[in-house]
Amino acid sequence: MDQFLTVAQDAAYQAGALLRDNWLKPKTIEVKTDIVDLVTNVDKAADALITGILHTQFPTHRIIAEESAVSGPESPYRWYIDPLDGTTNFAHGFPHFAVSIALVHESQRLVGVVYDPLREEIFCASRGHGATLNGSPVHVSPAATLEQGLVLTGFPYDRRKRSEFYLRFYQAFMVRTQGIRRSGSAALDLCYVACGRADAFWEWRLHPWDTAAGALIVEEAGGEMSNFSAGLFDISGDQTLASNGVLHGQMLKVLQEVMTTDPDEK
Ligand code: IPD
Ligand code: CA
Ligand code: CA
């Protein structure tokens, strides 16, 4: 496990340095599935760098990276890589983005690393060994009520087609919490819940590379992950709820209330 974590950290540091060196330089920006779904030349370069390191170190493992095809042989060991989580921020020169790398064995998350290269903050977890920020243990917040809570969210890339649906959730939390933040990096949102900078996070339709590392970091920091019906959190599912644990039931109640006002829409 130590070797997995060490390699993941090293890859995150190298890719993070690439992001840091390029975030204020001119970039080539392309549109992917929708005009709000972007990819830059730096996303692709960081992707190639990380996948290259992992292939060399673990040639028998499967690699699923956002900007490249699935690679490596069939294997119970699968790496999930987001070389640049927060591409829209990055493309605009907004200083909030990260590298996210996770290793999953069968369906168990083993290792998670999220690196914010501008703040030089590395969040790490390995199953059963807690979560750390720059080597020091982190823990979720003690917030006991939603009214005392700062919650985080994001909007998926189909948001222009389904804005009313997503805004119903936003409105419900807006009137029940101390504040909502939309940072533009789901991987960092999860880490911020893990280290107590925020108390909960919800988002629809994230991808496994967005959440695999952050979910383990939340769990290892004493927090809770689930879908919006209190079911097991699945990195391939379309519902991500993270909390400090204490607020989990209150978050679920609000999500359920909003979903039952529109049971057919999803
Ligand atoms: C996005 C970010 C954002 C979230 C989007 C993700 P990307 O990832 O995590 O916070 O709201 O749903 O797709 O495209 O910047 O890697
Ligand atoms: Ca992402
Ligand atoms: Ca990305």
> Which domain CATH number covers 210?
3.40.190.80
State whether residue 36 is helix, strand or coil: coil
Please name the amino acid found at residue 180.
Answer: I
Would you tell me the crossing angle of helices 41-57 and 2-22 to the nearest 10 degrees?
A: 160
Q: Which residues surround ligand 2, an ion (CB under 5 A)?
A: 82, 85, 210
Range of the domain at 20: 2-137
Is pLDDT above 80 for 237? yes
Residue 115 CA to ligand 2 centre (angstroms): 13
- Is 266 part of a structural domain of the chain? no
131, 186: one domain: no
The minimum-distance atom of ligand 1 relative to the CA of 153 is: 11
Q: Is 185 in the pocket of ligand 1 (CB under 6 A)?
A: yes
Cβ atoms of 77 and 58 closer than 8 Å: yes
Instruction: Compute the mean pLDDT over every residue in the chain, rounded to the nearest whole number.
Output: 95
Contacts of 3 (CB under 8 A, 6+ apart): none
229: exposed, middle or buried (Cβ count in 10 Å: 0-12, 13-18, 19+): exposed
**Mode of pairing for the β-strands spanning 136-137 and 131-133:** antiparallel
Rg (CA), the chain: 18
Residue where a domain stops, chosen among 108, 137, 166 = 137
Cβ atoms of 223 and 242 closer than 8 Å: yes
Is pLDDT above 90 for 173? yes
104, 181: one domain: no
Q: Among the bound ligands, name the one nearest to the CA of residue 208.
A: 2
Is pLDDT above 80 for 129? yes
- Residue showing tokens 């991987």: 187
Question: Per the confidence metrics, is the pTM higher than 0.95?
Answer: yes
Ligand 1: residue whose CA is nearest its atom 8: 85
Residue where a domain stops, chosen among 97, 117, 137 = 137
Residue 185 CA to ligand 1 centre (angstroms): 5
Total domains in the chain come to 2
